[in-house]
Amino acid sequence: MKPLRIALAQLAPRLGLLDDNLARHREVLAEARAGGAGLVVFPELGLTGYQLQDLAAEVAMRVDDQRLLGLAAEAVGLSAIVSFVEEATDHRLFISAALLEDGAVRFVHRKLFLPTYGLFDERRFFAAGDTLRTVQSRLGVRLGLAVCEDFWHLAVPETLALDGAQILVNVSSSPGRDLAAIHEVGLGTATSWRTLMRTYAQLTTSFVVFCNRVGMDETISFWGGSEVIAPSGESLFTAPLFDEGLHYVDVELGDVRRERIGLPLLRDERPELHLRELRRILAERTEMAIAAASEAPEERSAPSTRAEPSTDELERS
Amino acid sequence: MASGTVSEPRGGEGADRLFELPPELAIDTDVARRVMVGFIRNQLRQAGFGRALLGLSGGIDSALVAFLAAEAVGPDNLLCVLMPYRTSSPASAYHAGLVVDRLGCARDLVDISSVVDGYFGRDGEPGGGGESALDAAPLRRGNFMARARMCVLYDRSVAWGGLVVGTGNKTEALIGYTTLFGDSACAFNPIGDLYKSQVRQVAAAVGVPEEIIRKPPSADLWPGQTDEIEAGFSYPELDRLLFWMIDKRRTDEELLGMGFPAGEIARVKRLVAVSEFKRQVPPVAKLGPRTTGVDYLYPRRRPGSAAR
């Protein structure tokens, strides 16, 4: 089987300059095609930049936007994953990643988890997606798409793998921070991400493709370090930190089968057990919430004003 | 310029140590340098400028920023402005000269004595500030000097066609040891998230002359002034406390358990709290449907925002 050549487009998008970024995507797409790539992966919000705030609505595109379709039309003979602000028909804005294939938008994943803490403020500007599906690619594999923070929730890689994904693709705009010297490559963020990606690849026995942007938006530096991890958890390629570049990585899709035969973790997953226990946990949480709600007034009120009379009082009445 | 190697933190024992670096504050200087140089380039590019300028005091903070800015835009595009007052330490001018000579960047010397004396008066002769300004306390004079320097920098920024690069560090910003609209005024600040100890670490890594790294930090607003005497703390000790208190969110009890004295914890907490206003844009009363900084939130630099 011919190896799949994955091209990681570790770009520095220009904030709010949709047309510039579209042009850059087209250039890179052409370059990757000439380089023999089967799949080109662009970073999260590569078409718009990340720190958009109120600009988000100004650079949003519907999935049938001519500019997006124009880019898709160039995805012929290779597949591309691009990311942009998607405006839904009801005008909610999503951070989306789209698979472009055969000249069309084949699939769209809307970012599920919007970090709104620390330096992040995504929930203020965006709506969270609510479906998690894999997609059969023309490449002969099922792809699972995720956007940045989606990978900080265990259920995402697990669900994608159970749904048949053989390649998990995470597109990111991960801000570099925590420069303590104790960290691998001097960046706390990089250490955490690398740990996650190796773990997910190994536990799901899938390829993990991570494309993280570089450059700066306002005060934030994005650290790059895009990677491809084999189903064994072994890192096949790590891009340099902070530098723009188009990097090719050849992967043997047969490695997925080999790994899953040798290490049948996915076969041994117990989704029914997981589901049962999740149902129980949710039920208990609901009960806890109900109990908390009914206990609360009692805690606040004096003993003489109990909501229900005691047995004693009932007997006397 | 020094090569991009990571300098070994020289915080240990030994008579030749260049500075004291608490181990928890040690950073990867290569990464820090990379980010800060990129930040300077990016800020200038997005604003449509290719040149930068800064006030060079002879101290470590502005020396480090000068090295970073020279790397970012090239020495030809950097202007260092020396702005002594007549009582400023001659060592300050000497150290500033060292930096300029090392970098080969442009230098401007502006003596602010006549501006400052023109307001406060001199030798019993009142200035524009009137009779009462003659006995102004050092704090007032120091603040005025810092703001006079800001005026000079922003004027020179037009003549030079560049943006003013900030030189304040995180320690002084957190405890409020800055003059509002004075030394803290700038277009952007590459070192504002580095504690003083980290400034020293990066300065050593990028090749700031050792004598600048070694000398006691001073605002040099009056003769003999040093930060550490004025604040009553040593920087390594203050940096450690701020790091655990702010970056690592430790409670007072936890800080006590780590060995920080109760009095020091209380004092630093107070300094941080009372200087909150210095770190923020002045508030605007909310009246209209969309108010800047409240619900009109745009990136500072965005399409169309470049000056040219």
CA-to-CA distance for B113 and A252, rounded, in angstroms? 73
The pLDDT tens digits for A74-114 are: 999 999 999 999 999 999 999 999 999 999 999 999 999 99
Residue A50 has pLDDT above 60, yes or no: yes
Say what the pLDDT of residue A127 is. 98
Measured over the CA atoms of residue B168, residue B173, residue B175 and residue B176, the dihedral's sign is positive
Its pTM stands at 0.88
pLDDT for A296 equals 61
B240 CB neighbours in chain A (<8 A) are: none
What pLDDT, in 10s, does the model give residues A109-154? 999 999 999 999 999 999 999 999 999 999 999 999 999 999 999 9
Higher pLDDT pick, A155 / B228: A155
- As for the ipTM of the complex, it is 0.85
pLDDT at B14: 43
pLDDT (tens digit, 9 = 90+) per residue, A249-306? 999 999 999 999 999 999 999 999 999 999 999 999 999 888 888 876 555 544 444 4
Fold of A4-267: Nitrilase/N-carbamoyl-D-aminoacid amidohydrolase (3.60.110)
CB pair distance less than 8 Å for A176 and B35: yes
Percent of chain A past pLDDT 90, that is, above it, reads 85
d(CA B66, CA B172): 19
Q: Which of A177-181, A199-203, B274-278 has the lowest mean pLDDT?
A: A177-181
State yes or no: pLDDT of B9 exceeds 90.
no
Answer yes or no: is B252 within a domain: no
Q: How far apart are CA B186 and CA B181, in angstroms?
A: 9
The confidence score (pLDDT) of residue B153 equals: 98
Q: Assess if residue B266 is contained within a domain.
A: no
Q: What is the pLDDT of residue A306?
A: 45
pLDDT of res. A275: 96
**Is residue B222 over pLDDT 80?**
no
Query: Number of helices and strands (H, E) in chain B?
Result: 12, 4
Mean pLDDT on B114-120: 98
Q: What is the pLDDT of residue A309?
A: 45
pLDDT of residue A297: 56
Q: How far is C-alpha A252 from the chain's CA centre?
A: 23
Residue B46's pLDDT is: 87
Res. A315: pLDDT tops 50: no
Query: Are the Cβ atoms of A180 and B26 closer than 8 angstroms?
Result: yes
pLDDT on residue B41: 96
Residue-range definition of the domain harbouring residue B104: 23-228
Shortest distance, CA B32 to any CA of chain A (angstroms): 7
B40 lies in a domain? yes
Cβ atoms < 10 Å from Cβ of B94: 12
Interface test with B, best of A19, A217, A218 (most B CBs within 10 A): A218
Residues 6+ apart with CB under 8 A from B108: B79, B80, B81, B82, B156
pLDDT (0 to 100) of residue B16: 56
Residue A317 has a pLDDT of: 39
| pLDDT value at residue B223 | 78
**Taking Cα atoms as reference points, which of B41, B51, B46 lies closest to residue B302?**
B46
Strands A167-172 and A207-212: parallel
Domain-wise residue ranges, chain A: 4-267, 273-306
Averaged pLDDT for residues A200-218 = 97
Is A17 in contact with B303 (Cβ distance < 8 A)?
Answer: yes
Q: What is the pLDDT of residues B175-218, one digit of tens each?
A: 999 999 999 999 999 999 999 999 999 999 999 999 999 998 88
CATH number of the domain that B216 lies in? 3.40.50.620
In a domain, B239, yes or no: no
- Note whether A181 contacts B39, CB cutoff 8 Å: no
- Answer yes or no: is B277 within a domain: no
The percent of chain A in helix, strand and coil, each rounded to the nearest 5, is 35, 25, 35
Does residue B2 carry a pLDDT above 90? no
- B109 beta partners: B82
Residue B230 has pLDDT above 90, yes or no: no
CB B163 within 8 A of CB B44: yes
> Does the pLDDT of residue B303 top 70, yes or no?
yes
Q: With beta carbons under 8 A apart, name residues in chain B contacting A183.
A: 28
| Domain count across chain B | 1
SS3 state of residue B198: helix
Tens digits of residue pLDDT in B35-93: 999 999 999 998 999 999 999 999 999 999 999 999 999 999 999 999 999 999 999 99
Residue at B238 is within a domain: no
What are the beta bridge partners of residue B106? B79
Q: Mapping DSSP to helix (H, G, I), strand (E, B) and coil, where does residue B286 land?
A: coil
Tokens of A202: 């190994």
Mean pLDDT of A181-188: 82
CB pairs under 8 A between A and B: 66
